[in-house]
Amino acid sequence: MTTKTPKLNRRSFLVGTAAVGSGLVLGLKIPFGTSVVRAQDGSPEINAWVVIRPDDTVVIRVARSEMGQGTLTGLAQLVTEELECDWSKVTTEYPTPGQSVARKRVWGDFSTGGSRGIRNSHEYVRKGGAAARIMLVQAAANGWGVPASECSAANSVITHKPTGRTTTYGKVAEAAAKLPAPAAAEVSLKDPTEWKIIGKPVKRLDTLGKVTGAQVYGADLKLPGMLNASIKECPVFGGKVKSFEADKVKGMPGVKHVVQVRDTAVAVVAETWWQAKTALDALPIVWDEGPNAQVSSATIAETLKAGLDAEQAFVRNQNGDVKTAIAGAAKKVEAVYAYPFQNHAPMEPMNATAKYTPERCEVWVPTQNGEAAFAATTAASGLPADKCEVYKINLGGGFGRRGAFHDYVTQAVLIAKQIPGTPVKLLWTREEDMVQGRYHPVMQSKLVGALDDKGNLTGLHMRLSGQSILTAVFPQNLQDGRDNLTFQGLDPSGDFAFGYSVPHLLIDHAMRNTHVPPGFWRGVNINQNAIFLECFMEELAQAAGKDPLEFRRALMSKHPKHLAVLNAVADRAGWGKPAPQGVSRGLAQMMAFGSYVAACAEVSVTGGDKIKVRRIVCATDPGYAVNPAQIERQIAGSFVYGLSGLFMEECTVKDGRIEQTNFHTYDSMRIAQMPKVESIIMPSGGFWGGVGEPTICVAAPAVLNAYFAATGKRIRTFPLKNHGITMV
Amino acid sequence: MARLTINGKTSEVNVDPSTPLLWAIREQVGLTGTKYGCGMALCGACTVHVDGKATRSCVMPVSAAVGKKITTIEGLATNGTLHKVQKAWVDNEVPQCGYCQAGMIMAVAALLKDKPKPTDADIDKSITNICRCGTFQQVREAIHAAAKA
């Protein structure tokens, strides 16, 4: 997932430009002079981040989206730390994108992807908490007629130290809300050694509603007078609607409308969703499939294969002279890997609810990026930003599908526009979700390594050939045509830094795009890059006759943080010591989204093709660990996503369309296949790395390397089901 | 018109008898805790109890549910007290996005009724719900915790 802003139409672009340079310092100011800004229930807003009710309840505003990853709780912890409020009195709410626009983007970025929820907003949300605390303390001091410097705050209680008098945040909130915001220079943050709640495994704030059925997801929404819609977009990407026979289904139970959506989709609107879906299934639609109907997985693979040896490629990471090094190698090692299209398949299919009148358009949607949903709403409705609003609803999973893409919002608005005044809930079938994805890009890689006569790696050429997400989604973010995102984990430095020193190195990308729309799939390009690199590292080690850990260590002395997590998993797993009978081990390491990660997998293989992943030891150094309990859950969960991808998941293309339509052909791990995951969280401080995605990338290569250790077989194309290999 | 008994209450639902129970529960009775995930009984998000048995309601026609005792996630707690599985889910912080969890909890509640002290093998065999967030490690811990409760 990328850090860039969404595509905006002309109208909303004005909104976007107005936001540029507004600066997050606005988050520390009351935007309307000294008049009190009030929450809907009338409680005073201390600043944009904090509302305090008379009963001492603290409402913390969170702009990023909670989709299971725990960011809501983590961000609330950050605000609480500086606010010095009572954690047991904390609750959260989402500001709306419309409010954000009206208040000059006071809450900053809404985008929740790229493992950015905490790492890109920790500073301004903590400052928001600190500024509110300063105001609350000042208000108490004013009430007592004492200097604020004589007062302290803890657990939502303010104490005048010389006299021992106390008051609470709830009691001084009104007065605090009338005070000017402190100057930015007065708002300092605690040293990490003083943290009391950051770093603690406090319970997440959003569990109860998820176990009682009370939590409302987008798909559950009900509005008065609402109708329900089911939609089919042309299954061949780029194709169009040729014709459909609405009369054949108009008399079916509950059916109210049969509408075309742009020139690419048809929707049935009915009283209930089941009626809409049933009628849509019966609706004869003829598609104009266009030239893409000739494309298949085989033709795409040929295109990518040609890129492996192409002269032209975008260079991202280079030192020395790799050609000469390979030509002069004592031993040359070469391998070609390939990674398939994959679908996000969150448990809740795509959906959005829209209500349109010529005066106002409102959308309720589970989204990873409220601002992008807002941009889609203004564009599709044709209304100016001040006549639009988006309400974020809980997400039943996101994984990147609900961040950069709001095709379902556009559809919902375009349907609602044809039925003005009536709210319409559009819910995709699982089948639609499977064939209208924004797929993990398809990629091949050819790796050539040069070993000297002592088995040292002297040269490495890693050629990637395949799809560029940015070209399809955010072309404005390409750099001279190059998609830097393709190289995640392979960069010379930064949040995705390559962890090895190789005297002669070349990592480049032959861009080969397809008509299948690519997207940001949890982990994005680190997943295949880690497989290519970390499996090939072990191929090199084998060719050199060296232990895979020792072979890596020799290349990592200048990358101490990469090395530290690798050492941690090796130590915990007992690398170098005998494994239990029938158990083999494999390693992998990577840096992604600002965090250093490594894993050691232990597998047993029976019959050559049944893999039991028994144990995973995984380490991460995210700099700071805000909530270790949630980090553990993200690590364990990332292995489910990553190993499902490795073993089971591939979207194949036939006649221009995706062949997999539901979980019977696009499977996902079950509890029986779940390995025991042991997490080592080892924050070394001084930086903020991501959590939701990084560890996913070491899942597959660690298991593949363990499989190789067990069988001597090196698998280079995925998923493993294509080789008859199953996860037991 | 079909008469359904859900969480101890009787509802008249005016749907085609072939309508899946899931959609009668969600759209007619208005209980949305039971989720749509696949419509093919593959993922288990729609799991409810029909006469005490865990049942994937997305493929069961309303006609087959008439006269049976149906329990949804909203009916699992009694008099405001969470079921021991729900409690274990809270204590172990199982849910991530939570969308699949109602079905998961219903499947587990039925398992514990059958086998109050399930082994890991029992769990592996009986709990086949899909969770894309990947909560399985916590699900297993919470099942064992609920079994001890």
**Burial track A49-71 (b if 16+ CB lie within 10 A, e otherwise):** bbbbbeebbbbbbbbbbbbbbbb
Nearest-by-Cβ selection for A671 from B86, B90, B136 = B136
CB atoms within 10 A of CB A592: 30
* Domain containing residue B70: CATH number: 3.10.20.30
Judging contacts by C-beta atoms under 8 Å, the chain A residues touching residue B19 are 274
Judging contacts by C-beta atoms under 8 Å, the chain A residues touching residue B20 are 274
Show which of B42, B75, B108 is a domain's final residue: B75
Nearest-by-Cβ selection for B32 from A210, A220, A430 = A220
Q: Does domain A10-208 have CATH number 3.30.365.10?
A: yes
Whether the predicted pLDDT of A415 surpasses 70: yes
CA distance B113 to chain A (A): 18
- DSSP 8-state symbol, A439: B
Domain count, chain B: 2
Phi-psi label, residue A716: left if phi above 0, alpha if psi -120 to 50, beta otherwise: alpha
One domain for residues B7 and B65: yes
One domain for residues B64 and B102: no
Q: Angle CA(A93)–CA(A95)–CA(A99) in degrees, nearest 5? A: 155
pLDDT given at position A35: 76
What is B119-145 written as a DSSP string? -HHHHHHH-----SS--HHHHHHHHHH
Mean pLDDT, residues A374-388:
97
pLDDT given at position A7: 38
Task: Note which residues in 287-316 of chain A have CB less than 8 A from chain B.
Answer: none
One domain for residues B59 and B103: no
Nearest-by-Cβ selection for A636 from B82, B99, B134 = B134
Per-residue pLDDT of chain B (149 residues; tens, 9 = 90+): 899 999 999 999 999 999 999 999 999 999 999 999 999 999 999 999 999 999 999 999 999 999 999 999 999 999 989 999 999 999 999 999 999 999 999 999 999 999 999 999 999 999 999 999 999 999 999 999 999 99
One domain for residues B9 and B67: yes
One domain for residues B68 and B96: no
pLDDT given at position A582: 97
Same fold, A10-208 and A218-290+350-427: yes
One domain for residues B69 and B13: yes
Burial class (CB in 10 A: 0-12, 13-18, 19+), A104: middle
Subunit contact B134:A204, Cβ cutoff 8 A: no
Subunit contact A347:B32, Cβ cutoff 8 A: no
φ, ψ of residue A277 to 5 degrees: the values are -65, -40
pLDDT given at position A34: 52
Task: Tell me the domain boundaries of chain A.
Answer: 10-208, 218-290+350-427, 297-342+439-727
Q: Angle CA(A534)–CA(A668)–CA(A342) in degrees, nearest 5? A: 60
Show which of B75, B95, B111 is a domain's final residue: B75
Judging contacts by C-beta atoms under 8 Å, the chain B residues touching residue A214 are 33, 74
Separation between Cα atoms, residue A372 and residue A367, nearest integer Å: 9
| Smallest CA–CA distance from A643 into chain B, residue | B134
Subunit contact A662:B32, Cβ cutoff 8 A: no
Select from B27, B73, B76, B137 the residue whose CB has the most chain A CBs within 10 Å, as the one to mutate to test that interface: B137
Interface contacts (A, B; CB < 8 Å): 180
Q: Which amino acid is at B4?
A: L
Task: Note which residues in 325-384 of chain A have CB less than 8 A from chain B.
Answer: 345-349
Subunit contact A663:B97, Cβ cutoff 8 A: no
Show which of B51, B75, B99 is a domain's final residue: B75
A433 interfaces chain B, CB cutoff of 8 Å: no
Supply the range of the domain harboring residue B23: 2-75
Q: Angle CA(A389)–CA(A395)–CA(A401) in degrees, nearest 5? A: 90
Judging contacts by C-beta atoms under 8 Å, the chain A residues touching residue B129 are 670-671
CB atoms within 10 A of CB A99: 15
Q: What is the pLDDT of residues A40-57, one digit of tens each?
A: 889 999 999 999 999 999
Q: What is the pLDDT of residues A214-254, one digit of tens each?
A: 999 999 999 999 999 999 999 999 999 999 999 999 999 99
Subunit contact B98:A396, Cβ cutoff 8 A: yes
Q: What is the pLDDT of residues A394-412, one digit of tens each?
A: 999 999 999 999 999 999 9
pLDDT given at position A11: 32
Judging contacts by C-beta atoms under 8 Å, the chain B residues touching residue A207 are 89-90, 93-95
φ, ψ of residue A462 to 5 degrees: the values are -115, 110
* Domain containing residue B135: CATH number: 1.10.150.120
Subunit contact A663:B42, Cβ cutoff 8 A: yes
Class of domain A297-342+439-727: alpha beta
Whether the predicted pLDDT of A436 surpasses 90: yes
Q: Which fold has domain A218-290+350-427?
A: Aldehyde Oxidoreductase; domain 4 (3.30.365)
CA distance B27 to chain A (A): 7
Judging contacts by C-beta atoms under 8 Å, the chain A residues touching residue B37 are 347-349, 430
Whether the predicted pLDDT of A717 surpasses 70: yes
One domain for residues B59 and B101: no
One domain for residues B51 and B110: no
Q: What is the pLDDT of residues A573-604, one digit of tens each?
A: 999 999 999 999 999 999 999 999 999 999 99
Whether the predicted pLDDT of A8 surpasses 70: no
pLDDT given at position A25: 30
A666 interfaces chain B, CB cutoff of 8 Å: no
